Chains A and B, each alone.
Chain A
Amino acid sequence: MIETDVLVIGGGPAGMNAALASAQSGAHVLLVDKFQHLGGQLVKQTHKFFGWAEKGAGTRGFNLAKRLSEDVMNNDNVQILLGYEVVGAYRDGTYLAASWSDHITIKAKKLIVCTGAAERMILFENNDMPGVMGAGAVQTLMNEYGVLPAERFLIVGSGNVGVILAYQLLQAGATVDAIVDVLPKLGGAYWVHAAKVQRLGVPLLLGRTVLGVYGNSRVESAITAKVDEKMQPIPGTEKRHDVDAVALAVGLMPLTDIFQMMGVKTVYVPELGGFVPWHDECGRTTNKDIFVAGDAGGIEEATTASIGGTIAGLAAANDLGYQDNMQAVKDNLEALSIFRTSSLSKKVLEGIERMRGELNA
């Protein structure tokens, strides 16, 4: 049994910043991650981040992960538990973390959930055929393990993930037949990224969906079609793509099982990616001892996850009485609101507003 002030689940940008903020306030922190290394999704981000220099903009994701994890490892107040997944949460503040060979029970006064998100799947014929994979899975194989899982790709989804993946695939020597998106305009991708892959010859086919993938034992081709305003495929607009893989970059959904296990109120907010735990501006849920930060509380990106993690970590230590962090919380909230003034944050802000309104619904 490990006893701690603050248990942080997930060692991505939100979790590492949350752990640091609580630890620097004097609280003992246990940071648990199911993988053997810290960093979360940052470790496979080979591109440079936009945003603010002080929050890591201009730095490549994996370097940001390295820098943050060194800070975490060098902090004496943070105990790190790698290779364990928190699979049980009980209402008396006890948690069960398991590896494949043993388990550890944890007793914590505060919990900060930074479990991130899962990739969405979509429905089309033969969608479980080998060669159909999440865009994140392709990035893990390619950028983390150095394995190119196929040679000719069709990418579904024109958000940042899909567009950046297209560029990385080209860099790795694969071909990208096209990026398709069911919506009539470019998804959430930064325009400069989208323009770059188009200059490199990757067509962006908007208003088009995947009907199915076909092949003997793995993907040999994919069929897409245009959709009408009700998102229904239009007969006669089918197009065949000779590819051996289809990468799905159709969005992420928050991983919220722990909240549901703990009886924390979750609400369905499409702008935030699905079900999210109701939370206040510090990430405090309907259970005052449980916080959320990062994508688990609503799909956004690494910079806002980092700031959100810092805020939750400061608030948790503040609530435990370690030190008065209210001014620091305020400063970080200010930073967050400035970062969210870009048009890409409009949807997230609407989602947050909708979520806040649902407390008494």
Chain B
Amino acid sequence: MDDNKVIICRCEDITLHDVRGAIEDGYDSWDKLKRYLRIGMGPCGGKTCRLLVLRELSAIKGKPLSALYLRENVIRPPLRSIPFKALEKEAHL
């Protein structure tokens, strides 16, 4: 399997090859990979790629998955991209 042809983050078009290379280069946590590659920063907010990336990290680093994720990853609002005009206007029911 050619890892250059395997997409791991569909929103930001990041391949498995990109992720493996970045981990080799020392970007060894979800947060670092996110800042370096923009994985998980597209419209889905990481819902698709997060677990796949963590699995790759877990396999390469030989660490259990839960140990890679706890604490360091803080998810902040908004959970998905919303238009500014939606923030400007408050609806009243």
Contacts and interface: CB of A to CB of B under 8 A. Distances in A.
Interface of A: 1-2, 79, 81, 85-90, 96, 98-105, 118, 120-121, 123-128, 211-212, 233, 253, 255, 257-258, 260-261, 267-268, 274-275
Contact of B93 (A79, A123, A267): A79
B91 A104 contact: yes
Contacts of B10: 121, 128
Interface of B: 1-2, 5-8, 10, 13, 16, 45, 47-49, 51-52, 64-66, 69, 73-80, 82-83, 85-87, 89-91, 93
Contact of B2 (A90, A100, A121, A125): A125
Contacts of A267: 66
Given A125-B1, A125-B6, A104 B86 contact: no
Contact of B52 (A2, A98, A123): A123
B6 A98 contact: no
Nearest to B56: A123
Contacts of A1: 90
Give the interface SS of chain B, mostly helix, strand, loop or mixed.
loop
A274 B51 CA distance: 8
18 contacts: A1-B90, A2-B93, A85-B79, A85-B80, A87-B79, A88-B77, A96-B78, A101-B83, A102-B86, A103-B82, A121-B10, A126-B5, A211-B1, A261-B74, A261-B76, A268-B65, A268-B66, A275-B66
Contact of B82 (A87, A121, A126, A212): A87
Contacts of A128: 7, 10, 13
A253 B48 CA distance: 9
Given A212-B1, A233-B1, A275-B66, 16 more contacts: A2-B93, A86-B79, A87-B78, A88-B77, A89-B77, A99-B91, A100-B82, A103-B86, A103-B91, A121-B49, A123-B8, A126-B5, A127-B6, A261-B74, A261-B77, A267-B66
A100 B83 contact: yes
